[in-house]
Structures are given as C-alpha cells and as structure tokens.
Structure 1
Amino acid sequence: MGRFLLLLTCTLVSNYLHPWRGAGAQSMFTIRDISISLEPGDNVMRGTNVTVRCEALVSSSGAGPLSREYTIYKDGVTVYTKTTSSSSDLLYRLPDARVSNTGKYKCKLNIEGRKVTSEAKKLTVTGLSTPLLHLNNAVVSEGEELTARCTAPGETGSIIFYFYDDSKEILEDRVNSNQSEVKLRFNDVGIHKMNCSYTVLVTPFFFRSDKSNSVTVSVKELSITPVLEIFPYSNIYEGDRLDIMCTVRSLMADMHGNVHLYLSRGTQLLSRGDTNVNHSMIALAKDSEEFECRLEMGNVVKVDTKKILVTELFSVPTLTMSPSEVFQKEYMTLSCKSDTFASERIRRDQLTYSLDPPESLLIPKSSGVFSGKAPVYDFNYTCIAQAKGIRKYSRPLTVRPKVTVSTPKISVVGSAVLGRPFKVLCKSDFGSLPINYTLLKDYDQLSMAIVKMPLEQALFTVTIHQPGEINKFMCEAKNSQKDAPLSKRLEAIVVVPLSHPTLTVIPVLPEIAEGDHLFLICGVKGTPPITFKWYRDDNRSPIFTTTTDMNNTDYQIQALAKDDSGTYYCEAINHAKNVVRSAPVTIVVRLALWKKAVIVGFCLLLVSVLVVVFVLCIRSKRDGVPHYDGMEGRVTNGTRASAVSLPTDTSNRSSFSIPATV
C-alpha cells in the first residue's frame, strides 16, 4: 500500500513539472515561429501558378511526431485546412491565379490546443480576360424576346455583368459565376450593336474588364400601327364639338386580345379600349394641346399624336375695382370685361357677366359693371363671362375695405417736466394703416409722423416753459381724403423743477433754549409730491425723510438738549429728479430760564454773604481802638450803652473825643 502511494505521488509531481508532456509519455514541444510566403511573388499576372507556403519552426523532445493542424485564411475567411504529422512546410496552391485571388493571406498552426498565427501577406493578381458576348438570334421583330449570354473566361468570384446597346448600358446582372444570361427586348426598329463587360468585386476593391466583341441585332417593324383622327381638325373655335377616334391599322387575327389602346390629352386619360376608342367633347382654348393614341401590345408600344389649335371665343375676363382703395360702407364699383372676343362667331351683347358669389350686395348697373357699398370685412369676388355655353372665370379679386381712422388720443409718455424735452404720443384706437399723425400747437402744425406698421407709434418731442403751455397741444389723424379728426387738448401734470429751498427755525435762533420744542421747516417752490430730507453736520445719512403733497413740511425736536446743538440743512427732490439744498443753519441750545434764575439767585446770595462778612470785619477792627466820650475818667467802647472805668491817675492825661461812626 505504501509503495502504491509513493508511485502515485511521483507521477503527479512529474506531470506538474513537465506540462508539455502528455498522457502516454508524449514529447514536450514549443512553437518557436510561423511565417507565410507567396511564390513566385506578391504581384503576379493573371494565369500565374501561385503557391502559398506556410513554414513553422517547432522544437520538441522525444521521437514521436506531433499532430499539426494548419489553417489558411484569405481576408479573414478560411480557404484551406489540413492536419498532418509531417514537419515539412504546408503548401496551398493557386493554379492559374485570377483577380479574385487578390487578398491578404495568413497561416495558423494548432498543436495540441496551442495556436500561433503568422503575419499577413498580400497577393495582388492583375489582368482580366476579355468577355465574350453571344446572342441566340440576330434578327427579331420589335418587342420580340432574345437571349444574351456574356462570359468572363476563367474568372471566379463575385462578378457584375453589364450589357450595352449602341454603347448605352441597358442591363446590369450580378452573379457568383463567370457568365450571365439575360432576356432582352427591342422596341426601336433598326440595327442595334450589342456588347458587354464585367467587374470583379474583391472587397473593398473592384476591377473592370474591357468590352466584349460586338454583335449586331436587326429589329424589324411590326405592321400594326395606331391611327388618330380628329374632326374638325382646323378652324376650331371654343364651343365647337370635337369627335376623336383612336383605331388600329393592320391588326392581324392572332393579335386580338393582346392589343390595348389609350386616348389621352396631355396628362389626362380620355378613354381606353382594345381595337378602337371614340371620344366626343366641346373644344376649349386649353384644348390646344397634343392628343395621343397609344397602342400597347406586350412590350411593343406605338403612338400617333396630333395637335389642334382652338381659337378663343372670348378672353378670360378681368375684374377691377374703383376707386383702388375703398373704406367700409363707402360706394365702390367693380368692372368685369373680356378684352377680346371672336366677332365672327358672337356679338358683344351676347357676352354676359355675373359676379360670384351671387349673394353679394352689389347691384348691376350695366353690362359687367356692379356698384354698391363696400362691406365691413374682407370679401372675395370672381367675375364670370359666358357665351354659347362657354364660361370663363376671372382671377379672384379680394376687396379689403379700409377702416376710417378714429379720433386720436393725445398723452404724455412719462412725465412732462418744465423746461425739459418730453415725449407726446398721438394714437387712434382703430384705423387702417398707414396713418398720418400731425402735432398741433394752438392749431399751428409742429410736426408730422407716419405710422406704417402695427406696433409703430407716433411720438413727438416737445419742450414747454410755462405750465399752461401743455394745454395748447393737439393732434390729428388722417388715412383718407376725409377731414382728419382732431384730438382733445393735451391734459397732463406739468412737473415744475424744485427751486428756492429754505430752512426756517422756530423758535428764532437767539431764543432757543433747553427744553424748547424745535421746528425745522423746509420749504421749496415746485410741483409735489416732494421728498424732504434733513441732515445734521457732515453726516450724509439723513436724520429724517418724508414725502408730502405740500411744498413745505417740518422736522420736530421735542425737549431740546445741549447735544442737539449743531448745523442743520435740508434737501428736496420731486419727479423732475433735481435735488435742491437749503442754506445751513447753526443752532445753539442755551440754558433754561430757571437755571439762569438759580444761578443769579446764587450769585446774589454769594455777594450778600460777602458784604456781610466784610462789614463785620470792619467793625471788628474798629472795636479794637479806645474811644473817649468827653467825660473824664470814662472811656466808651464804641457804644453808647457801654462804659468802663478809666484809670484813676489823671495827672498826665488830656481830654479828646472821637466821633463814633457806625
């Protein structure tokens, strides 16, 4: 058991290490190279024996031969396959090579599933054989069938054959062989020279041969012919009856049932039959065309034609209108007339006229003349001229009644600013174009505008210097010979640009004090509405903005404080878009009156205290000096009520008194 496992293991390892060793102890191999060559060369002439050689270089071990499978490709399509155990080159022979053998060739080698393909080699074969043409009959009757066979000797592949009659190609046939056989018929009597050629298709190229030999075919005419007769044939007028007959001449008995006749005028088929066709009709001027009697028998076609001339009995009428332009509900006249008529056949009074549609509101006034009021909408009229059963219609006449222009309306576009140019629009609600608009000022013409397109407007540019001038403008509209309607006078608000800005302060400047209610009144001259803005000092952001319909308004500051002191001004703007600014006003907020009184009282009190202190100081100084009252031995201290005892020594004393002043 152990030996069996060891043998199995050795076998598996050996197969793993030698992948190209097959079961049964086959040799190992490798395909080193494969190439293809063309002998005797890449470019050969038609008829050359060409050999495609496939050479493979294979290395192998062991004595046993390898099974080789070769495949030859032409333009990607398999053309040859061979399996061999020989190591010799594979040969693929092309005896008597033809143009169809042109193409790219490759060789593929397959050994036990391992495949290698060579590079491609292109073979070019030039030269085609001259085609041969054969006909089964050299003399035929018109319409008789013959067989033509064109052969390309020795050629192979996909071939297109061409057949020619007197150098004109009449048939093309594509086949996969070297000959084409077709059926031909000839309807033209006479001698025909036939030949053929062919083209060999080698994708994506084609090769064209020379033309073949020429073969002559004689085509004899059949005795059968069609006959066309018309009565009368000349001096024909409109209204005359025409009898037309289409028959067959030399009809043989064996032809019955195979012959068909067709009678036509221009592209209109009038009638058909087998052996004869009869047709009767009233001649008209438009019948001055060619009539044809056509005979068909199998592929044989014969015709007989005749052309007649039909004289007009009267010309096609012409319908005109007068006046050339007409307005709604205005009188108009339609005239219908044939300019010429055959006086040798009819009289002028035999020619009658009528209008279509008959329910039109126009009344006949005389022969071909119709009058009445124009409708209020577009209308198509057609005139009918009639004589001896012949009716002719005029070209339709479309009457487009114009609409009288309505009274125009005048208005201002945008705003009318005094002293500046502005636009004035003059417009009518309805009216046919073109419309002439005229701008007037006190009935004097200023300007004119013509409106020709539906969306076009009559705009005028004007300038006024006084507000009252706006009512002097009017306009008129005109699109006919009638009097032009006049609009009302122009009514619009005239915007007067702002001017004379003022800033009034209440209370007056010297009296402004803390706690006061301040009014800054900004006023201007101009047209409201007006937007006012107030500014303080150099700040460009307004402290207050308002819009009003008055020429002045105010900005209020209640309970003034010292911080409200500063420079104030105002700006104003209206629809004239001009900004005006007042002169700046400097406001100084003074102390309140009660504060002033407190300060004055305090000052007075302070002065009084200072005076009292001063007086007391003076008195205190006086009380420090002795005073005598005139009585010996008595001194006063400045008051009458007080006295002190003097020294008793009076030996050296004098007597004086000082008046006391209090």
Structure 2
Amino acid sequence: MDPRALGPLLLLAGLLLLSGLCGGAPSLYTIDAVGLSVLPGPTVPTGTPVTLTCSVSVSHDSARRLMHVFRFTRFDALVHAVNSTAGEARLRLLPARAADSGDYECQVEVMEKVRHSGGQRLTVTGLQTPVLSLSAGVVYEGGQLVASCSAPQEKGALVFQFFQRPAGAAAASLLKHAISTGTRSEARLVLPEVGDRDLFCNYSIPMAPEAGGSNSSNTLHVLVKALFISPVMVVLPASSVFEGDVVEVVCRVVEPPGSVDVYLTKGRKVLKQSAKVLHYRFTAGEGDGGEYVCKAEYGAAQKETYQTIRVKELFSRPVLSLDPLEVFEEETMRLSCVIDSYSPERLVIEDVRFSVYKNQQLLVQGASYEAFALPSQNGNYTCRAEADGQEHPLAKDSAALVVQAKVPVSVPVLSVVGGRLVVGRPFALRCHSDSGSLPITYTLHGPRRPAQTREVRWAGDEAVFNTSGVPRGADLLLFLCHAQNNELSAPLPSAGHELLHATEVIEPVSRPVLTLVPNGASVSEGQDLTLNCSVQRGTLPVTFTWFSSGRTDPLAFQTLQGNAGTYTIAAVARGHSGGYYCEGSNPALEVKRSFTVVVGIQMAGWKKGLMAVGCVLLLLGRRPRRPPQERPAEEAGQGALREAGQHPERAP
C-alpha cells in the first residue's frame, strides 16, 4: 500500500478510539416501557401524603448509564420535571389537597426518543373548613363591613361565597360571590335591613368540581342598627306660589349619627349639596314647578324626602301676531302683542307693560306696531310683557315671529314652448312671471276650450299648458294667461300681442295641383312637356318634387320662395307615357301629394304620313295580274275594293 494513503486511515482510527474513550452516546438504544404509580392509592382524603412514581426501562449497547428527563403533567400541563440517570423519579404531594386532583401522566425523554406512560386519575376528597372574620360586629342599616374568608391549607384558585341569616331563622341568603387566586378573600358587604344577622362563608374549587363545596365556616353575629337620617324638608313661604315669588327650600337631618351629606335634586339635576342642613333660594319661574327631592347620605345609606312645589302663572307668555297673516310688499302690516290669561288676585292687567323688538333691538314701547311692508321691515320680531307692582318684577318674551313680506307677482309672459307653432297641430304654452313669491297660480284662457290652471310651488317649476292646434296663426291673439299669488289682489293678465310677435308660425302646404303644358292628351313625340306643380297655401319656402308612376326615385325637386314650380321633359318619346304626380312640403315637415295625371304620347305627324304611303304601296303590290277577258269588269272592281279594305257597299 502507498505509505501516503496510511496517514488519513490512521487519523480516522484515532478519532474513533478517542470518541469511545470520551464516553460518546451509544449508537443503539430503545425505551422499553414507562410506568406511573400513585401511592397510597388513586383516591385519598385531603391531607394525605401522596407519591407519584415514574419508572422507565431502556435497552442499549453500552455499559454507560443514560440521562433520563422525567416530566409529570396534570391535565396535560407540566407540574414537575426531573433529570436523572436513575430509572425512576418521584412527585410528592405533602400533603395532597383537593386542588391536586386530576389526570396525571409521565413522559420520559432519552436522548432523541420520548415515551409516555398511561394516565392515572388522582382524587383527593374533602375540603378544609374555612375561617370567617369581620371588621365590625355592629353596623347601621345600609352600612358596609369587611368580611374575610380563608382556607390557608388549600391550593389553587378558590371561589368564596358569603351568606347571611336572620337571627333564629333556618334559611340563609347569599350576599356575594368572590373569586380569589389565593386561599383568602375579602369582601365589602352591605346589610340594608335592620336587625340581628348571622354571617358565614364557604368555598369551592373550580378545577376540582368533584370535591364539591366546603363546609360552612364559623358563624359570626352582626347587629344592624336603624339609621335615623331621614331629612326634614320645608318649603317657604308655601308649596304653592306665584311666578316671581321668592321660594326657600330647607333640608335638615335631625341628630345625625355622624357626618351626613344632604342633597337637593329636581329631575335628576343636583341643585345644591351641603352637610347636615341645606338652604336653597330661588325666584319662582315658569319651569320651576315640580317634584323636589331632599336626600341624606351616610356612608352607603340613603334616605329621601319628597315635596311638590306648584308655581301658578301670574300671566301667560305673550303672543305676537301679524295682520294680515301673509303680508305683501307695500301693504300695511300690523303687529299685536297680547296675553291670553292672568291671575286677577295678584295682578292688575293695567300694570302689564308691553314692548316690541326687531332682531332683539327695541322697536317701540307698546303692544302694537304698524308699518308698510318693505324689504327693510323683514326680520325676527318678538314682544315682551312686564308686570310692575310686584315684589320682584316679572318679564316674559313671546316666541319669535319671522316677518318676510311677499313679493307681488309681476305681469306674466305667455310664450309657445320651443318658439315655433305649426298651424293645426297641438302645441304647448308656458306662462311665467319674472318676479313674485311662491306659490303662484297661473290660469290659461283660449278660444273654444276650457280654462286650465297650474300652481307653481317650488323654484324651477313651470306652468306649462298643453293645448290643441289652431286653424290660423292669428288665433294666438285669442290666448290669455292670468297670474296670481295674493287672494286679495286681482289676477294680472299677460300682454295680448307679445305671444304672436314672439312665435314663428308655420302653415303646412295645401294639397298641390299638377297641370301639364301642353295638355297630356295632345302631346306628340318630340314635343317638350312641362309639369307645373302649385299650392294654394303654405309658409315659404316650399319644396316641390316630381314623380313618375312606377318609379321610386323622384324625377326632380325644387325649393322655392314661391307657391309654384315647374319641371320640363324635353322631346318626349313614346316611353314617357304614363302617370305623373308631384309633392309639396315646407318647414312644417308635412308632405302633401297631388292627384296623378296620365300622359299619352301621340305619334309624330311625319310618321303618320310615311305609314300611309307605305300602306298604299303595300296594297298595290298585292293586286292579281289576270287578263281582263278572264273576269267581268264588275267583279274586277269589287275585288279591288276588297283588297283596299273596303266593302263594296261602302265604296264611294
């Protein structure tokens, strides 16, 4: 072998030997079994020492002892862990309590392998009897005391319950639940009823419901004394007063046991607070009547006294009115301020003074105000009534009255919608006023038709009237529109001639008449044929169109500023025979057609002569060439006549 190859082999052998000498992990091992035992047994009374032993058996190919990791779990939660080369580990519960109950399991980890034992159920029966202590043995009704319930030997989170039982009674009632993370809980208890009470507590463990509830604790006696703090409430000068009277409310607690707070409230609003005695003064007003509550507080205890104060109205709130209710510009408006009722036993009506305000500025002293309704008079008006001769003068303001003078409607303008009218067709008319407060009522009057009414209530709305057609454009002069927004004023009519002058009136064409020159019955080949198309009526320009029967395409058309048009066919031929008609239209976009005229084209004169000569020659050429002696002269003459197309009896 090459000496150079021995070096790496010797190095590898040395590393393997060194690894064995240093105690490396065995190459082969297996966990045979893991077991868990509970001693002295799976069910024990509380306070019993309990040992849980986890054992493991491992097979491997080395004499070296392996390291084991033991883990104890309860309800799959880790409670204890041990690292050991021994084959077992222990979890000791010294002593075991109900909180230790549960499903236990052991897990053993050897190097990279893990194995679990079977589960074991541990049940610890019984709970410790708790101990109750109180901060005081005597309290006032509604007062608080601090109760402490403890079970120092237990484990885990506990739920405590506090109970009370009237002295001598068998049934108890629950006062409070308290959840604690430890073995002791304090609770503030309120005892609202007067008399002797017995208090006790117990507890349970949520994580060990099978343990049930504990026994009741020791019983402690508590005396609940009556608390005499009900306040006395006095209203001066009386509980029934007039507006403007000064009222004083006194709330007092007689011989309180200690520091007492007194409150005066009305409708959930605290008016005043004081210690032991409370004085509250106010001038009776419109909203001061109602129920007042005097409340005394001593610790958590409360006592209340109620009193209703009635405030009689000295005079009613003034009312400001406007006459007329809807005032238009430049009309006279009147503002009046009155009171509907008053108390004659306390007030002389002549002692009430009135004043009128505009935008919170004094306008006039007195109960009325008169002015012309102009834009400058628009605003918010109020009036005030003040009563003199009282110990405390009383003033009341009316609700605000908004004055906004309406604008009279202007002369309406009547127009044709679209600005164009076609005679005989339905159309729409718009009636509009440039100014005027809404709503505005428009009424349209027309010839031989009932009146129509439209009310415009909103900005942007329009009074548009649909009506049937008129036979003449001049009939627009017979339409009239009225506008009105004030019932006390006469309706305003529209101007008469504006509608006709502002409208484009279009009269459709009448039925056109087609005439021929020369007459259709005497037209010969080679002549020029002129087709004249005319209308009696119609707005210019007029478009004339000529057609030949049997053809869809027109022969010609003309648009003229006149009521007649012509179309000429030069040098007519026999093919021009047939029917002809024309159509007329104008901006009314209504096409009218004439009656059809039939044209027959006659043969030209020279053609007729030429044909006659040809016929004679033809006849002559067809006569027989017999000798004269072969037939009588009379027969020969009759035969000639027959050849010429004539009967013998008709010959001249």
- TM-score, structure 1 length as denominator? 0.64
Q: CA deviation at 1:26?
A: 0.8
Counterparts of 1:77-96 in structure 2 under 5 Å? 77-85=77-85
Q: CA deviation at 1:476?
A: 0.8
Q: Is 2:480 the partner of 1:474?
A: yes
Distance, in Å, in 2 between the alignment partners of 1:210 and 1:541 is 116
Contact residue 501 and residue 525 of structure 1 kept, 8 A: no
Name the structure 2 match of 1:403.
407
Counterparts of 1:495-506 in structure 2 under 5 Å? 495-500=506-511
Distance, in Å, in 2 between the alignment partners of 1:390 and 1:243 is 18
CA 1:113 to 1:577, structure 2 compared with 1: closer, same or farther past 3 Å? farther
Distance, in Å, in 2 between the alignment partners of 1:36 and 1:542 is 117
CA 1:362 to 1:130, structure 2 compared with 1: closer, same or farther past 3 Å? farther
Residues 409-454 of structure 1: CA deviation (Å, up to 9, x unaligned): 2222234333332222222233333332211125975222233343
Counterparts of 1:185-584 in structure 2 under 5 Å? 217-222=222-227, 226-234=231-239, 236-250=241-255, 258=259, 260-266=261-267, 269-274=270-275, 276-296=277-297, 299=300, 301-357=302-358, 368-374=367-373, 376=375, 379-387=379-387, 388=390, 389-414=393-418, 415-441=420-446, 445-467=450-472, 468-479=474-485, 480-489=487-496, 490-491=499-500, 492-500=503-511, 526-527=538-539, 576-579=588-591
Distance, in Å, in 1 between the alignment partners of 2:350 and 2:421 is 70
* 5+ long unaligned stretches in structure 2: 166-171, 571-577, 600-652
Q: Secondary structure at the match of 1:469?
A: helix
CA 1:100 to 1:347, structure 2 compared with 1: closer, same or farther past 3 Å? farther
Contact residue 175 and residue 189 of structure 2 kept, 8 A: no
Q: AA paired with 2:482?
A: E
Q: AA paired with 1:134?
A: L
Distance, in Å, in 2 between the alignment partners of 1:88 and 1:296 is 68
Residues 214-273 of structure 1: CA deviation (Å, up to 9, x unaligned): 977433245566444332125532232334444453267xx5xx5555455555555554
Q: Over aligned residues, Cα RMSD in angstroms? A: 6.1
Q: CA deviation at 1:147?
A: 1.6
Distance, in Å, in 1 between the alignment partners of 2:34 and 2:532 is 113
Residues 179-210 of structure 1: CA deviation (Å, up to 9, x unaligned): 311234557755678677878667xx9x9979
Contact residue 232 and residue 243 of structure 1 kept, 8 A: yes
Contact residue 56 and residue 89 of structure 1 kept, 8 A: no
Q: CA deviation at 1:386?
A: 2.0
CA 1:459 to 1:187, structure 2 compared with 1: closer, same or farther past 3 Å? same
- TM-score, structure 2 length as denominator? 0.64
Q: AA paired with 2:138?
A: V
Q: CA deviation at 1:534?
A: 8.9
Q: CA deviation at 1:97?
A: 7.7
Q: CA deviation at 1:282?
A: 2.5
Distance, in Å, in 2 between the alignment partners of 1:347 and 1:90 is 105
Q: Secondary structure at the match of 1:80?
A: strand
Contact residue 133 and residue 148 of structure 1 kept, 8 A: no
Q: CA deviation at 1:318?
A: 3.1
Moved more, 84-93 or 170-179: 84-93
Counterparts of 1:38-187 in structure 2 under 5 Å? 60-62=60-62, 64=64, 66-71=66-71, 77-85=77-85, 110-114=109-113, 134-136=132-134, 137-142=136-141, 145-150=144-149, 157-158=156-157, 173-184=178-189
Contact residue 536 and residue 568 of structure 1 kept, 8 A: yes
Distance, in Å, in 1 between the alignment partners of 2:39 and 2:538 is 113
Contact residue 533 and residue 544 of structure 2 kept, 8 A: no
Aligned identity (percent) is 31
Q: AA paired with 1:344?
A: E
CA 1:462 to 1:40, structure 2 compared with 1: closer, same or farther past 3 Å? farther
CA 1:225 to 1:572, structure 2 compared with 1: closer, same or farther past 3 Å? same
Distance, in Å, in 2 between the alignment partners of 1:56 and 1:550 is 128
Q: Secondary structure at the match of 2:511?
A: strand
Residues 464-509 of structure 1: CA deviation (Å, up to 9, x unaligned): 2323222321211222221011112433223334553578999999
Q: AA paired with 1:351?
A: V
Q: CA deviation at 1:55?
A: 9.6
Q: CA deviation at 1:461?
A: 1.5
Aligned residues: 572
Q: CA deviation at 1:344?
A: 1.3
Q: AA paired with 1:456?
A: D
Q: Is 2:5 the partner of 1:6?
A: no
Distance, in Å, in 2 between the alignment partners of 1:117 and 1:528 is 114
Distance, in Å, in 1 between the alignment partners of 2:256 and 2:233 is 15
Larger radius of gyration: 1
